[in-house]
């Protein structure tokens, strides 16, 4: 007896309404990454600076002779700057294959034949990267603030630096949105995740090196707009109420970050399609 004679049942159960499939994509993506030991090791490493800072906060709170270690608003800015290294590596590790692997396996036509829009697909993929990047930026920064409150035993520091709550939120958001959207756009351009990783690293290093070279020759730091990373740092200084490191106007720094996110959206709109038409 052919095996299919065992029967095919019609399905009479419930179905979710359209608009929720992005959550399925996000859950599956996060679960897949968290199942990898290499990634878990990277995640643990990304939390090491938090432990160091937590010890600093503990010592400063409990030993008067270590009061010079007292955290300031700047401490949180420095912490997030340190985390940028892990943002870079996690973005490459997780993000490079997010769309490129689907393109290699012709999976886009499978996804888009289901009741989900192209933007829902992108939202699902972006949610994977955003969640993991937030877990090494916003989450530890906020926890550090809580640790400070806990060890100090008062809200004095928080009251004096209330701007830190929106500053951490806003800067983390800018940091992870810029990395996620740029990486997803690059990932949609190729079928090779390795190539995408190289492109992303190239983009970061090349633009940074270009800015430093031009700055070295001309001495003009307003050319920081050439490097998205430096434009983001400039924006970070302003968000954390610190002296600006470059002569680049704030609006220009913001325009670079927003412009890159918008450009990534345009690339995704053109590249995430079930059918690639070559005319």
Partner 1 sequence: MQAPVPSHDGSGRPDGAPVVELHGVSVIYGRQTALRDVSAAFPAGAVGLLGPNGAGKSTMLKALLGFVVPSQGRMRVLGLDVATSALDIRARLGYMPESDAHIPGMSAVAFVAYCGQLAGLPPADAMQRAHEVLYYVGLGEARYRNVETYSTGMKQRIKLAQALVHDPDLLFLDEPTNGMDPKGRDEMLELIRDLAHNKGVNLIVSSHLLPDIEFTCDHVIVMDKGAVATQGALDAVRGPQGRVFELRVKDGADQMLALLTAAGYEVHDTQEDVMRVFVPGDAGAEPIFRLAAANGLQVRHLKQSVPTLEDAFARAVGAD
Residues within the interface to partner 1 (CB under 8 A): 2-11, 13-18, 20-21, 24-25, 28, 32, 97, 101-102, 104-107, 109-117, 273-275, 277, 279
Please give the full DSSP string across 40-53, using - where no structure is assigned: HHHHHHHTHHHHHH
Q: Which residue's CB is nearer to partner 1, number 72 or number 273?
A: 273
Instruction: Please give the Cα distance from 4 to 149 (Å, whole number).
Output: 64
Distance of CA 171 to the CA centre of its chain: 11
State the nearest-atom distance from the C-beta of 120 to partner 1, in Å: 9
Is 18 or 156 the residue whose CB approaches partner 1 more closely? Answer: 18
Q: Which residue has the tokens 């270690």?
A: 69
Judged by beta carbon, residue 28 or residue 41, the one nearer partner 1 is 28
CB of 145 to partner 1, least distance (A): 36
Question: What is the nearest approach in angstroms of partner 1 to the Cβ of residue 41?
Answer: 19
* CB closer to partner 1 out of 64 and 275: 275
CB of 107: closest distance to partner 1 in angstroms? 5
The sign of the torsion formed by the CA atoms of 143, 147, 148, 154 equals: positive
- Residue 62 or 106 with smaller CB distance to partner 1: 106
* Least distance from partner 1 to the Cβ atom of residue 6, Å: 6
Q: How far is CA 188 from CA 78, 80, 148, 199, 240, in A?
A: 33, 28, 42, 12, 34
Return the closest-CA partner of residue 254 out of 226, 232, 230, 223: 232
Q: Which is nearer to partner 1, 6 or 65 (CB)?
A: 6
Question: Of 131, 163, 170, 171, which is closest to residue 145 (Cα–Cα)?
Answer: 163
Toward partner 1, which CB reaches closer, 114 or 270?
Answer: 114
Give least dist CB 179 to partner 1, A: 22
Structure-token match 């290294």, residue found: 85
Shortest distance (Å) from residue 44 CB to partner 1: 23
Backbone phi, psi, residue 137, to 5°: -125, -80
What the block records as the tokens of 103 is 């393109």
Query: Do 112 and 180 form a contact (C-beta atoms < 8 A)?
Result: no
Q: Which helix (H) or strand (E) holds 6?
A: none
């Amino acid at each position: 007896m052919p095996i299919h004679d065992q029967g095919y049942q019609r399905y009479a159960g419930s179905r979710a309404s359209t608009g929720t499939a992005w959550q399925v994509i996000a859950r599956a993506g996060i679960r897949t990454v968290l199942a990898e030991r290499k990634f878990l090791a990277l995640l643990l490493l990304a939390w090491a600076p938090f432990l160091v800072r937590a010890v600093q906060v503990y010592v400063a709170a409990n030993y008067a002779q270590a009061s010079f270690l007292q955290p300031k608003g700047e401490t949180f800015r420095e912490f997030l700057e340190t985390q940028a290294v892990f943002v870079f590596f996690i973005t490459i590790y997780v993000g490079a294959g997010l769309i490129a692997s689907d393109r290699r396996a012709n999976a886009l036509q499978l996804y888009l034949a289901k009741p989900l829009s192209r933007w829902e697909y992108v939202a699902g993929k972006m949610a994977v990267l955003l969640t993991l990047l937030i877990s090494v930026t916003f989450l530890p920064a906020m926890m550090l603030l809580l640790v400070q409150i806990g060890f100090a035993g008062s809200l004095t520091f928080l009251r004096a630096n209330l701007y830190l709550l929106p500053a951490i939120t806003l800067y983390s958001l800018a940091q992870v949105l810029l990395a996620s959207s740029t990486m997803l756009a690059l990932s949609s351009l190729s079928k090779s995740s390795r190539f995408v990783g190289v492109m992303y690293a190239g983009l970061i290093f090349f633009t940074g090196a270009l800015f430093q070279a031009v700055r070295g020759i001309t001495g003009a730091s307003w050319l920081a707009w050439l490097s998205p990373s430096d434009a983001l740092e400039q924006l970070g200084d302003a968000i954390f109420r610190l002296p600006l490191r470059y002569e680049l106007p704030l609006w220009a720094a913001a325009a670079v970050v927003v412009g890159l996110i918008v450009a990534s959206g345009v690339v995704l709109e053109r590249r995430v399609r079930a059918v690639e038409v070559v005319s």
